[in-house]
Amino acid sequence: MKWGVVVFPGSNCDRDTLWALGDELAQDASFIWHQEKSVEGYDAIVLPGGFSYGDYLRTGAIARFSPVMEAVEEFAQRGGLVLGICNGFQILLEAGLLPGAMLRNSSLQFRCHFLHIRVENEKTPFTLACKKGEVLRVPIAHNEGNYYADDATISSLAANGQIVFRYCDEHGAVTPEANPNGSMDSIAGICNEAGNVLGMMPHPERCSEAVLSSSDGAKIFRSAIKFWERG
Amino acid sequence: MYLASIHVTLKKSVLDPQGVTVKGALESLGFRTVSDVRVGKYFQVSLGAESEEAARAMVLDMCKKLLANPVIEQFDFDLEPGGAAK
């Protein structure tokens, strides 16, 4: 399975992602510069975390027009696996590959710490190595993770099983206290209707090996590998 | 040349955490009659166009495509001949 990690000017989790995929999970993974016009030959694309284009205008708003994004959009429409992590999630929203938008954290604070998320849909290509309701310990690091969509969109996300992760406490209870950013419905990650595009605010690449105090993030990558190997 | 003055603000239906915080700060400074604060963005765009109508259409298009995110934001703008930012 060949993974591509897109590098935008200002990406800063690209190397962590490449490390998690290549060194930890023994995957064939390489960088894709944002000026590339093709993602031919890749089986999965990761839009990594960071501050693409300095977060100018809105998070992800400029990166979304990078040449590579047209190819990523086509790849996604053909059913290719696309994972957007943190800034990558914000880019997917701006590109319209996922519905909704990000607002500033309700606390107005940049939040950077470990927390818990609950797997709400274990049938997506990115969660099939998880159990339904499983609680993952993962870190977040963002200023704009306050997910917003109109009521009709939130209802359809819920009805279609597109809400993949919710913020929760260590026991799996979804409470206002466990929501770090004011995100609607405690949403931490959503997928598109087909399930092949996932956006999530927490960083699985920062918790993919025990030495990083949690290896729960590897389950996201392992799920995609399992999905791809099944064909 | 034309000068477009563009305001982008969060939609009324979207809570503005920055606005709420600024309102609180104003209240603590003694501005007790402040009932609402919305924080937004202001752009001055100088552009060339063949007519005011063409300039207006172009500004509308750039607002929709890039300057505002229609999911959370609304925009309005004024257009005047000239083109130099103030």
Q: Which helix (H) or strand (E) holds B81?
A: strand B73-81
Segments forming the whole domain that contains residue A188? 2-230
A143, pLDDT greater than 80: yes
* B82 pLDDT tier (thresholds 50, 70, 90): confident
CATH assignment of the domain containing A35: 3.40.50.880
Task: Give B17 to chain A, closest Cα distance, Å.
Answer: 5
Q: Which residue of chain A comes nearest to B8, CA vs CA?
A: A57
Q: Which helix (H) or strand (E) holds B75?
A: strand B73-81
B84, pLDDT greater than 80: no
* Interface test with chain A among B11, B15, B72, B73, by most A beta carbons within 10 Å: B72
With CB atoms and an 8 Å threshold, state whether B18 touches A108: yes
Q: In chain B, which residues have their Cβ closer than 8 Å to the Cβ of A100?
A: 71
pLDDT 10s digits, B9-24? 999 999 898 899 999 9
* A194 pLDDT tier (thresholds 50, 70, 90): very high
Q: In chain B, which residues have their Cβ closer than 8 Å to the Cβ of A65?
A: 66
Number of domains forming the structure of chain A? 1
The whole-model pTM stands at 0.95
Domains of chain B in start order, with CATH, are 2-81 (3.30.1280.10)
pLDDT 10s digits, B17-63? 889 999 999 999 999 999 999 999 999 999 999 999 999 999 999 99
Please give the pLDDT value at position A220.
98
Average pLDDT of the segment spanning A6-20: 97
